[in-house]
Amino acid sequence: CDLHQGNGTALIFRGDPRVYTFSIHQDNLYPVKQPSDLDIGLPDFTGDEEYLGHLERHVPRMLDELHPDLAVYLAGADPFMRDQLGMLALTFDGLRRRDELVIGGCVGRGVPVAVVLAGGYAEDVHDTVRIHVATGHVLAQA
């Protein structure tokens, strides 16, 4: 769940039936895209409700159908509305709800989850720190 598509991860695990890759990202942003198992490219200025709607439709289904041994969740801070490099428009609350949906979905199904903090180029660096700290709080409370 980052501003950029997980193209490196998609390329590394392409054709590996043991790994399912999912990326939700700003569609028209570099880098060159590599096909994931599921890619959701979002238009500029996508906000909380549309973004979270995609996650609500896909995350529970993926967890229920795939029964993963481990989920690796990249919690990017760069979908934030005041990120200097991106054009998505998630709020602090939207990013927290994203974390709750993904982390809570995993924990609630007994799926171990490794959380990786990434990205974040907010105009005010304190906003980036706040986003990452909030992710840690969601994980600690799960």
- Span 78-122, pLDDT tens digits: 999 999 999 999 999 999 999 999 999 999 999 999 999 999 999
Domain assignment of residue 134, given as a range: 7-141
Task: Indicate whether 68 belongs to any domain.
Answer: yes
Would you state the pLDDT for residue 30?
82
Task: Indicate whether 116 belongs to any domain.
Answer: yes
Cis peptide before 35 (omega within 30 of 0): no
Task: Indicate whether 17 belongs to any domain.
Answer: yes
Q: How many domains does the chain have?
A: 1
CATH number of the structural domain spanning residue 73: 3.40.800.20
Q: Distance between CA 66 and CA 32 in Å, rounded?
A: 27
Q: Distance between CA 46 and CA 87 in Å, rounded?
A: 8
Mean pLDDT of 5-20: 96
Task: Indicate whether 22 belongs to any domain.
Answer: yes
Task: Indicate whether 1 belongs to any domain.
Answer: no
Task: Indicate whether 2 belongs to any domain.
Answer: no
Is it the case that residue 31 has pLDDT exceeding 80?
A: no
Q: Distance between CA 83 and CA 119 in Å, rounded?
A: 9
| Bridge partners for 76 per DSSP | 118
